[in-house]
Amino acid sequence: MYSFTLGNHLYPYTIMQEHTVEKHQFQAEVRQVLDIVINSLYTDKDIFLRELVSNAADSLEKLRHIQLSAPEVFDAALPLEISIRSDEAAGTLTIQDHGIGLTRTELVENLGTIAHSGSKAFAQAMRNARESGADGAEALQLIGQFGVGFYSAFMVASKVELYTHSWKSEGEHLLWTSEGQGSYEILPSEGQRRGAKIVLTLKDECRDFAKEDKVRELLRRYSSFVPFPILLNGERVNTVQAIWTRSKNEITPEEYSEFYKFHADAFDEPLFTLHFNVDAPLAINALLFTPENNPERFGFMRMDPGVSLYCKRVLIDPHPKGLLPEWLRFLKGVVDSADLPLNISRESMQDSSLVKKISDVVTGRFLKFLADQAEKEPEKYAKFWKQFAQFIKEGVVSDHAQHARLGKLLRYESSLTKAGETIGLADYVGRMKDGQKELFYLYGASRAAIEAGPYVESFRAAGLEVLYLYEAADEFVMNHLREFDGKALKSGDSADLKLDDVSATASGDALPKERMDALCAWAKESLGARVRNVETSKRLVDSPALALNADSYMTPAMRRMMRTLREREGGEDGPEDVVQANFELNAKHPLVARIDALREKRPELAKQVLEQLFDVSLMSAGMLDSPQDMLKRMTRLLGELG
């Protein structure tokens, strides 16, 4: 026992230590996360070990980088390895690495707060996930994504002690300790080596994790790809390997799956796995995975790029921003190129023409692979599409160079599919009518909404297939893509669409041409500035009338979006307020004949019915901005009954 004297008193050293204990409260968000981790995640407690080992590996990786540039590293001679000790008698498990360690400030910032992603977003995403029926695996995946890995130790431990000395020479010898109950303490603890040593005092019901066999099994399962030696009670348990450099034929699906889980910190299985190497135009080894689930679906979180960049098995950047296009951020895996200079910095990556070349090769290969898979395994591809459609669409809108490949990946329902069944644009082209030069699409809130509108009937009568788009974003996708396989993509409600005259297929007598011409002229005058043109329709069969968007640059979806933006910013009126519609009337529809007859007998009433019909048509076209006038008019018209 150390002691010192002050005046006449003898003070034991331990009391001195008491004075230097710093007690801290966890940040509120951390407390929330701890609460979720400790109380809600009963399943799969095992994963805590993977999380701690992966933190240790990250720390070693960082140290390796620092050693490349910094001459002075504390405890420089220590090996870059992870050692784990299980003590069954004491009920403890210790995980030690000789990585970068933590300074006092880092302990507070990295373990007492959630600095980067913020666990508010995490908690929110967990709630969203639960509400949308996510299963345990998806919830666990979120934990990895949000970096609450360290706190998973509290699933199994009643007390966590972290002994550390930073790689920085001025760092202190410290002990961080907590029971996960809202606060933690930091105190001096002499004699620490560089890195972090985490001692878990296991909860009674978790003492199995102090058994060597159990720990060995977990390490095999979760950590065999850790790129540093792992020692369990002094014995090596993993072989360090870069699986992507091995030959495809030697790798089992299980190995791929384990590597994916290790690398992406994932809990699901890879949906698609692509492993390839090329020598020209430059040497690339790539192993890419698409996950089963898309965490961005639950909102609030934008994924970091998930494909790491290596040069000859040395990690250059785990989440390189400039390596692949943004919209491929859902991909996980590794790209290793022997042609890259080892010292390429994260900043210079974006400008590097080498990196651009790698990006083109990898993106091209991946998209071709996806198209092949879509053909070979349509059901699996449908699963992919359900999760990741947004990224492919983002690609179309942002990456012109890949249009030909991306176009093949789009999937939509159509007038010829059953509800819920989708086709690709190539399927559409494959069954186009002789002489058909365009691909047609219609946008609406649902299949029922599109089919209740007046547009589908003309295509049906002419025997033409129409794609059904249910998201406003799809109209942008079509506007950007413009064509597929050399054929234009065309909205079924655009005014310049030349369709066959199908009016003949409708039953009933048509109003004579002169009467129709006079009716159209009267209608144009009555509707005034609201229409550009009124004419006898050649495309209507069953409906009385339809409105067409006469402004090819301002689609209804675009108008809505511009208006929403403006309302948010409180701007003045804009071009989106001017509706440019063409109006077509069906010469064979009884309602049209009634209006024509009414025109002479009761001109005022005829005008109101016409306006009503026009508003209903605009509404079908998604072009009616406010239904107020229409509703008032409807009440007035009802008053005319009887």
**Residue matched to tokens 């910094």:** 70
> Per CB under 6 A, does 147 bind ligand ADP?
yes
Q: Among 256, 253, 212, 198, which residue's Cα sits nearest to residue 87?
A: 212
CB of 80 to ligand ADP, least distance (A): 13
- Is omega for the bond preceding 318 within 30 degrees of 0, making it cis? no
Size of the site for ligand ADP (CB under 6 A): 17
Binding flag, residue 493, ligand ADP (CB under 6 A):
no
For residues 583-612, which are near ligand ADP according to CB under 6 A? Answer: none
Minimum gap (Å) between residue 40 Cβ and ligand ADP: 17
> Is the Cβ–Cβ distance between 93 and 219 less than 8 Å?
no
Residue 266 is a binding residue for ligand ADP (CB under 6 A): no
What gap in Å lies between CA 455 and CA 540, rounded to an integer?
A: 8
Tell whether residue 48 is a contact of ligand ADP (CB under 6 A): no
Neighbouring CB atoms inside 10 A of 454's CB total: 24
CA quadruple 581, 586, 590, 592: dihedral sign:
positive
Q: Check binding of 97 to ligand ADP (CB under 6 A).
A: yes
Gyration radius of the chain over CA positions: 33
Contacts with ligand ADP, 323-342, as mask; x by CB under 6 A:
--------------------
45 neighbors 206 (Cβ within 8 angstroms): yes
CB 472 within 8 A of CB 561: yes
Q: Of residues 453-472, which lie at the interface with ligand ADP (CB under 6 A)?
A: none
Minimum distance of ligand ADP from residue 336's CB (angstroms): 23
Q: Is residue 180 involved in binding ligand ADP (CB under 6 A)? A: no
Residue with tokens 């030909």: 404
> Which of 111, 186, 202, 587 lies at the binding interface for ligand ADP (CB under 6 A)?
111
Site for ligand ADP contains 285 (CB under 6 A): no
Shortest Å, Cβ 60 to ligand ADP: 9
307 in Cβ contact with 332 (< 8 Å): yes
Residue 148 touching ligand ADP (CB under 6 A): yes
Nearest C-alpha neighbor of 489 from the set 419, 561, 432 = 432
Segment interacting with ligand ADP (CB under 6 A) among 76-84, 149-157, 272-280, 348-356: 149-157
Would you call 127 helix, strand, or coil by DSSP? helix
102 sits near ligand ADP (criterion: CB under 6 A): yes
Its sign, for the CA torsion 103, 104, 105, 110, is: positive
214-218, long-range: CB within 8 Å, 24+ apart, which pairs?
215/49, 215/84, 215/86, 215/93, 218/46, 218/49, 218/50
Name the phi and psi angles at 84, rounded to 5.
Answer: -125, 135
Q: How far is the CB of 263 from ligand ADP (least distance, A)?
A: 14
Please, which residue, 108 or 283, has the CB nearer to ligand ADP? 108
Residue closer to ligand ADP, measured from CB, 110 or 533: 110
Considering the complex, what minimum distance in angstroms separates the CB of residue 55 from ligand ADP?
Answer: 3
Three-class secondary structure of residue 284 per DSSP: strand
Q: Write down the least CB distance from residue 104 to ligand ADP, Å.
A: 13
Is there a contact between 264 and 291 (Cβ–Cβ < 8 Å)? yes
Tally of residues, the chain? 642
CB of 390: closest distance to ligand ADP in angstroms?
Answer: 25
| C-alpha to C-alpha distance for 610 and 616, rounded to whole angstroms | 10
Which CB sits closer to ligand ADP, 55 or 387?
Answer: 55
Q: Using CB atoms, what's the residue nearest to ligand ADP?
A: 147
Give the three-class secondary structure for 160: strand
Map the footprint of ligand ADP across residues 608-627, applying CB under 6 A.
none
Cα distance from N-terminal residue to C-terminal residue, the chain = 106
Please answer whether residues 167 and 194 qualify as being in contact, where contact means their C-beta atoms are separated by less than 8 angstroms: yes
When asked if residue 150 is in the footprint of ligand ADP (CB under 6 A), the reply is yes
Residue 411 Cβ, how far from ligand ADP at the closest point, in Å?
34
State in angstroms the smallest separation of the CB of 195 from ligand ADP. Answer: 7
The tokens for 568 are: 């948010």
Choose the binding region for ligand ADP from 141-149, 356-364, 419-427, 463-471 (rule: CB under 6 A): 141-149
- Which of 37, 156, 157, 196 touches ligand ADP by CB under 6 A? 196
The smaller minimum CB distance to ligand ADP, of residues 171 and 556, is found at: 171
Footprint (CB under 6 A) of ligand ADP, residues 52-91: 55-56, 59
CB of 269 to ligand ADP, least distance (A): 22
Q: Out of 91, 112, 149, 454, which residue is the one contacting ligand ADP (CB under 6 A)? A: 149
Q: Does 107 bind ligand ADP (CB under 6 A)?
A: no
DSSP for 260-279, written as a single string: HHHHHT-SS--SEEEEEEE-
If the CB atoms of residues 99 and 325 are measured against ligand ADP, the closer one turns out to be 99
With H, G, I as helix, E, B as strand and everything else as coil, classify residue 228: coil
Q: Interface residues with ligand ADP (CB under 6 A)?
A: 51, 55-56, 59, 97, 99-102, 110-111, 147-151, 196
